[in-house]
Amino acid sequence: MMNRISLAGCLSVVASLFRIFALTALALVSAQAMAQDTRTTVLTGGMLISGLSVPPVHNATIVIQGERIVAAGPAAEVKIPAGAVVIDTSGQTMMPGLIDAHAHLFMIGFGDEAGWFRWLQGPGRKYSIEKVMELSAWQLLMSGVTSAIDLGGNAAESISVRNRISKGEIPGPRLQVAGPLVTRRAFAGFPAEASAVIASPKEGAEVVDRLFRQGVDVIKAHAGLTRDDYFAIVKAAHANGIKVHAHVYAETDVRNAFDAGVDVLQHMGSAGFPTYSADLVRTIAESNRPIVLTAAHRSWIFPDTVKFPGRLQDPVLKSLFPADIWAALQDSFREWPAESYFAGIDRQVRFRSPQVKQLIESNALMGVGTDSGTPMNFNTDGLVREMKVLVDEGLSPLEVIADTTRVNARIMGKPDLGTIEPGKLADIIVVPGDPVYHDLNNLFTVQTVVKNGVVYKNQGKPLVKMPE
């Protein structure tokens, strides 16, 4: 009798355990299947800069569900969901991910641009253009840049890197890419694939159509273009539903590009020329068409490096490069003041403040971009240097943050980016202390990076490896 009872009891227990196991397994499978959609991350305790034109919120909480922000505000008013992954941001500042409106991922800040591509063809031949772009994308993301517009490079590699980032195959900012420059003259020493040289407005329109079919997001109108070229390029681009960014310095080129309907005026105000005519600047400001100055890339970086050449050997910067690329970089800096890139530096420094101040005082709509990858203009700090120039020349830190996030999102045509609000994509960075009080200096040391709700860096430590 005892044996029969024991056997029945055992069978009953086994049956119960099986039911529990089955239900648990089903729950686990369901949880795993829904993990992408239901993961919840919370940032709490720090000051919140939303990117909107409002004061910061102290002791704030941001709740992220999947890739979106679902709540943001004072910690006392935002409930932290049970089971959320909580990141303590006390004593720090939470703000929108930075956006660079003018990057070049196939360059890394080498002292001599043409020399960089020669190195890649010789000692550095193990690094393809695509591998270089992977490295630049990782550096940008680790520095708090969660979106960028790449305005000049090889079409195939640019499109591939953009797509691989979008699919989550490699880490980097979400990208819009232009591929080759549409130009009347190629850049000596640069890859042939990086320029689309035209001889007529008709060829300009044909190149735009071809690049659109290849899959670029925007067009970069570059050097030597005629007025008719601009009109043809813009007409073709807009017919295909994409924007045109124009590389313009001289007043005539600015006027031609503006009249043709170019969507974004890049470099305007950073060439070292006297200020523009009041009529031109007023017309552009009243149109609300964005300007991206890229002011720091020569006329601030050069004197800053003269004052402190040690920035070129910064150990944090060194840690973000493979050893052989770092060694080649250092070699490229031996005679950096004599590089042709800085041939007009005296004039550029002389006119840098009047030009930038003119555009600020005009109340023109201003995005923020870097021309990153150009000599000594690193992916890791170029955007913050550009932002600091705008603060030094008259904008408030909060205005510059909004220009680098909200306005740049508008330039990209991405209304779900650029601010921290419920419903927006969760692109958020955390920096130590108060960047507003310290004139943005804290942005040089980004502690946490979240893009699309995924944490890529936390407490100063990358959670994804540097590309090899």
Is the pLDDT at 57 greater than 80, yes or no?
Answer: yes
- How does residue 319 score in pLDDT terms, banded at 50, 70 and 90? very high
Poorest-pLDDT segment among 7-11, 41-45, 236-240: 7-11
Is the pLDDT at 396 greater than 50, yes or no?
Answer: yes
**7 vs 316 pLDDT, higher one:** 316
Domain definitions of the chain by residue range: 38-96+420-468, 98-417
Same topology between domain 38-96+420-468 and domain 98-417: no
Burial code (b: 16+ CB inside 10 Å, e: under 16) for 424-433 equals: bbbbbbbbbe
- How does residue 434 score in pLDDT terms, banded at 50, 70 and 90? very high
| Whether 400 contacts 98, CB under 8 Å | no
Is the pLDDT at 27 greater than 90, yes or no?
Answer: no
| Cβ-based neighbour number of residue 111 at 10 Å | 23
Q: What SS3 class is residue 111?
A: coil
Whole-angstrom Cα distance, residue 424 to residue 405?
13
- Over pLDDT 70: what percentage of the chain? 92
| Whether 10 contacts 54, CB under 8 Å | no
**May I ask the CATH architecture of the domain 98-417?**
Alpha-Beta Barrel (3.20)
- Which pLDDT value is given to residue 186? 86
| Whether 364 contacts 280, CB under 8 Å | no
**May I ask the CATH architecture of the domain 38-96+420-468?**
Roll (2.30)
Is the pLDDT at 168 greater than 50, yes or no?
Answer: yes
Is the pLDDT at 309 greater than 70, yes or no?
Answer: yes
Q: Which residues does 35 contact at the CB level (< 8 Å), separation at least 6?
A: none
Model confidence, pTM = 0.91
Q: Average per-residue pLDDT in the chain?
A: 92
Beta bridge partners, 176, equal 149
